[in-house]
Amino acid sequence: MTLLAAKVAAARAVGSLARRAGRGGGTSLPGKVLLALEPEAIRELAARLARGSVVISATNGKTTSAAMVASVLARAGVPAVHNRAGANMAGGVASALLTAARPGGGISGELGLFEVDEFWLDRVVPQLEPRGILLGNLFRDQLDRYGELDTIADRWAAVVAGDQAGRAARLVLNADDPLIADLGRDAPSVTYFGVEDPSVAIPEMQHASDSKHCRRCGAAYVYDVVYLGHLGVYRCTSCGAARPAPSVAAERIALDGTSGSSFDLVTASGRSRVELSLPGLYNVYNALGAAALCLSLSIPIDVVVSGLREVQAAFGRAERIAIGEVELQVLLIKNPAGANEILRTLVIEPAELDLLAVLNDRTADGRDVSWVWDADFEMLASRVRRVTCAGTRAGELAVRLKYAGVPPDRLHVVAGVAAALDAALAEAPSGRLYALPTYTALLELRGVLAERGHTVPFWEPAPV
Amino acid sequence: MPELRVCALYPDLMNIYADRGNLLVLERRCRWRGIDFSVTGSGLGDRLDPDVADLFYIGGGQDRDQTLCARDMAEIKRDALHAAAARGAVILAVCGGYQLLGHSYQLGEETLPGVGLVDLITVRSDAPRLIGNAAIEVELEPGAPRVLAGFENHGGRTRLGAGATPLGRLLRGHGNNGEDGHEGVRRGNVIGTYLHGPLLPKNVWFADWLIRAALGLGEPLAPLDDRLEAAAHAEARQAAGV
C-alpha cells in the first residue's frame, strides 16, 4: 500500500465512522481529514482522471449548473466524479475524489466535475489544474462572510491571470456580467456565453445591482439592455471596454412562470431548442453556461440539448412536492440578485400567491440580514394572498414585506418552521404554496418534510 | 401638511448595506401619518444646497467607491454640510459614511479627507474586521435611555476626540474601535453610527425621533401599529444577546 493509499483509507474510515455516528453533513469530513494528512491529495487524485476536470463557480446557480453538466455528461456516457450539491470547499472536492479513488492508483470516473465556492476557487484550481473553468456571475452576497464584491473579483482575476493552472484552462465566461467577462480579456482561451433576447430585458437596473462601474477605469457603464441584476449588454464610454460578443447564445427565450423555460441555443454551428423543467431567466443562464462548458468539451450539441432537458430541480431549487391537496414548491433565497429572480418568476404566475417565507440568520445564511432590504420584494406588493413568515428573523422579514407594500393583514408571523408550514398549508386554498427559505431554513424544512414521509430528492447539506 | 425632505448622498455608490431600507422606513412612516415625503440624490460632482433637505443621509460603500466619495464630499460638499448642520438639519451617516464625518480616514498609505463635522478620526486596521450583531444604549432625550440594535461590519477603528460625544454606550458588539465601549457619534442632529442591517427598520422609534428632529416638531408623532416592527426589534436585540 502506498502512502497516499493509506491516507485515503484512513480518511474513509473517519467518514464511515461519522456516518455511523449519525452525524449529518459529513460529506466533506473525510476530505478534510485527507487534506490534513496529505495537503496535495486533490492534485494527486485528480491527476488520475483520464479526461481531466472542470470547475464551476458563481455566486448564484453553481449547484444547478453543475447538475446540468452532470446530466449532459451522463447522456454523453462520460463517467464523472462530481461533488454533488453543496460540499463545494476543498474538503468537499477532496471527499468526492476520495470516494472515487480505487486501489492501485486508479479512480472510478473519467472527468472531474467540481462546483467550487467563490472563496475557495483560488485554492482549489491550482490543485485541480482543470481543463475548463465556468464562471457564471458575481453578485453581492453575505458581506459579513465574503466581504466586498471587488475582493472576490480580484481573487478570481489572480486565478485566471497569474496562476499557471488558471492560465492553462479554457475559460467559459458569462459575457453579460462585466465582472466575469473582464476576466477573459487577456486569457489565451475563452468561450463567452450570453443572452441575446431583448424581450426578456427589464426596463431598468434593479436596486441591488452591483458592478455598475467599469472594472478597468471606474467610469459608469452604459447599459443598452439589462437582463438580470447587473447582467446585460453594457459598454464603458470612457475606456471602450464592452460586453464581448457571445459565441454561445440564448435567443427566443420563453419563460413559463414557475413551471419551466425554453430557449434557442445558438452557436456557430447552428440553432437548437432547449426545453428546461427549471423556471426563470436565471436558469436559462445556468443552462447556457452549462451548455457552453459541455460544448467546449466537444460534446455534440444534440447530446447537450437532451441532457439539459432531463435535468430535474435539486431540492430547494424549484423542486415540487405534493402534500395532500397542496403542491409545495421550494425556492431557496439567499441574496438580493437570486431572490429578485425568484420573485420575478413568481409574479409571472397569474393567481394570487401563498408564500411561506423563512428568514434565518445563522452562519450559513449570513448573520447580516440586511440583504432582504436590497431584494425587490416590492414586486410582491399587490400579488400575495398570504405570507407566513418564520425563521430566526421572521419579524424582520415581515417588516420588509410590510414596507414593500404588502398589506399587514396578509402577513403572519409563526414561530418554528413546522408550525409555520402547517399554518401555511392550512391557509392555501389555491392548492399551491411557494416556500422561500434561506439556506439553513431549507435544511429545517427538508427535515420536517422527511419526518412526515414526503419524498425529498437526493441532496447533501453543505459543510459550514 | 408638513413635508420631510431627504437628500441621499451618493445613493448609487454608498448603498452597500441595504441603505435604502433606512430611507424606505422614513418614507413610509411619514406617509402613514400624512406627512409628505420627498427624496433627492446628490452624486459625484454635484453641488449641494444646504437648504435642499431636512435630513441628509449617507450610507456605506465599497473601498473604491468610498474613496471617490470622500474626495468629492470634502472638496465640493463640505461647506454645504456644515451650513446644513448649523441650521439644525439632521445628518445621518452609517458605516462608510460615518467614517467620512470626521477629520480623516487613514487606509494604509492613503488618507481620505473627512468633512470635519465631528471630532473623530478613523484608521483602517490590519486586524480582523469588526463584524457581528450589536446593541447600544442611547439617551437622545435626557433620562430616557433606549436601545438601538443592528449589525456592524467595519475594518476601520474610529476614535472620538475630546470634543465629541458617542451616540451610545455599547451593550454588545465592537462599537467604534472594539476597545472603549463607545459606538457612533452625536453632535446635536449630526449622527454617525456603524450600526446597519439596516438600522431603522429594526429601530423604528429612532426613525420617528429622526423625523421629529428633522422637522423640528415638539410633540410626539401619531402612534402607528408597530407590532411587526416590535418583533423585528426584539429579534435584533436577541441576535446581539441583549
Catalytic residue status for B196: yes
Q: How confident is the model at residue A13 (pLDDT cuts 50, 70, 90)?
A: confident
pLDDT at residue A1 greater than cutoff 60: no
pLDDT at residue A461 greater than cutoff 50: no
**pLDDT tens per residue across span A417-426:** 999 999 999 9
Identify the closest residue of chain A to B13 by CA–CA distance.
A212
Cell (9 digits) for B136: 447600544
Q: Calculate the alpha carbon distances from A292 to A226, A233, A288 in Å.
A: 21, 19, 6
CB-count burial class (<10 Å; 0-12, 13-18, 19+) for B130: buried
Q: How confident is the model at residue B106 (pLDDT cuts 50, 70, 90)?
A: very high
Task: Pick the more confident residue, B43 or A1.
Answer: B43
Per-residue model confidence (pLDDT) at position A311? 92
pLDDT at residue A315 greater than cutoff 80: no
Chain A residues in contact with B201 (beta carbon < 8 A): 373, 396, 399-400, 403
**Start-end of CATH 3.90.190.20 domains in chain A:** 317-451
Task: Evaluate whether the domain defined by A317-451 bears CATH number 3.90.420.10.
Answer: no
**pLDDT tens per residue across span A130-156:** 999 999 999 877 666 666 777 888 899
| pLDDT, mean of residues B93-100 | 96
Q: In what order do the strands lie in the sheet with B144-154?
A: B144-154, B130-141, B168-172, B182-183
Catalytic residue from among B7, B30, B69, B95: B95
**Start-end of CATH 3.40.1190.10 domains in chain A:** 3-310
Contact A304, A85 (CB under 8 A): no
Contact A395/B at CB under 8 A: yes
Contact A368/B at CB under 8 A: yes
pLDDT at residue A368 greater than cutoff 80: yes
Chain B residues in contact with A147 (beta carbon < 8 A): 129
pLDDT at residue A462 greater than cutoff 50: no
Amino acid at A228: L
How many domains does chain B contain in total?
1
What's the full length of chain B, in residues? 242
Q: Kindly provide the b/e burial profile for residues A80-116, where b requires at least 16 CB atoms within 10 angstroms of the residue's own CB.
A: bbbbbbbbbbbbbbbbbbbbbbeeeeebebbbbbbbb
**pLDDT tens per residue across span B45-57:** 999 999 999 999 9
- Please enumerate residues of B whose Cβ is less than 8 A from a Cβ of A: 12, 15-18, 20-21, 24-25, 28, 62-65, 68, 129, 131-133, 151, 153, 196-198, 201-202, 225, 228-236, 239
Query: Average pLDDT over chain B, rounded to whole?
Result: 96
Q: Which of A159-163, A321-325, A427-431 has the lowest mean pLDDT?
A: A159-163
Fold exhibited by the domain A3-310: UDP-N-acetylmuramoyl-L-alanine:D-glutamate ligase (3.40.1190)
Query: Average pLDDT over chain A, rounded to whole?
Result: 89
**pLDDT tens per residue across span A370-422:** 999 999 999 999 999 999 999 999 999 999 999 999 999 999 999 999 999 99
pLDDT at residue A329 greater than cutoff 60: yes
Pairwise CA distance, residues A58 & A74, whole Å: 23
**pLDDT tens per residue across span A353-365:** 999 999 999 988 9
Rg (CA), chain A: 22
Does A408 sit within 8 Å of B225, measured CB to CB? Answer: yes
Pairwise CA distance, residues B17 & B96, whole Å: 10
Pairwise CA distance, residues A401 & A387, whole Å: 9
Identify the closest residue of chain B to A149 by CA–CA distance.
B62
Its domain, for residue B59, covers 3-240
Task: Pick the more confident residue, B210 or A314.
Answer: B210
pLDDT at residue B84 greater than cutoff 80: yes
Nearest to A368 among B15, B151, B235 (CB): B151
Per-residue model confidence (pLDDT) at position A212? 73
What is the interface size between A and B, counted as CB pairs within 8 Å?
A: 95
pLDDT at residue A463 greater than cutoff 50: no
Chain B residues in contact with A372 (beta carbon < 8 A): 18
Q: Which of A72-81, A200-209, A318-327, B34-43 has the lowest mean pLDDT?
A: A200-209
Per-residue model confidence (pLDDT) at position A55? 97
State the smallest CA–CA distance between residue A403 and chain B in angstroms: 7
pLDDT at residue A86 greater than cutoff 70: no
| pLDDT, mean of residues B82-95 | 97
Chain B residues in contact with A411 (beta carbon < 8 A): 228
**pLDDT tens per residue across span A243-295:** 999 999 999 999 988 889 999 999 998 999 999 999 999 999 999 999 999 99
Does A399 sit within 8 Å of B232, measured CB to CB? Answer: yes
- Sign of the CA dihedral running A417, A422, A428, A431: positive
Identify the closest residue of chain A to B134 by CA–CA distance.
A368
Contact A140/B at CB under 8 A: yes
Q: Which of A188-192, A206-210, A346-350, B83-87 has the lowest mean pLDDT?
A: A206-210
Per-residue model confidence (pLDDT) at position A6? 87
List the CATH number of the domain containing B106.
3.40.50.880
Identify the closest residue of chain B to A401 by CA–CA distance.
B228
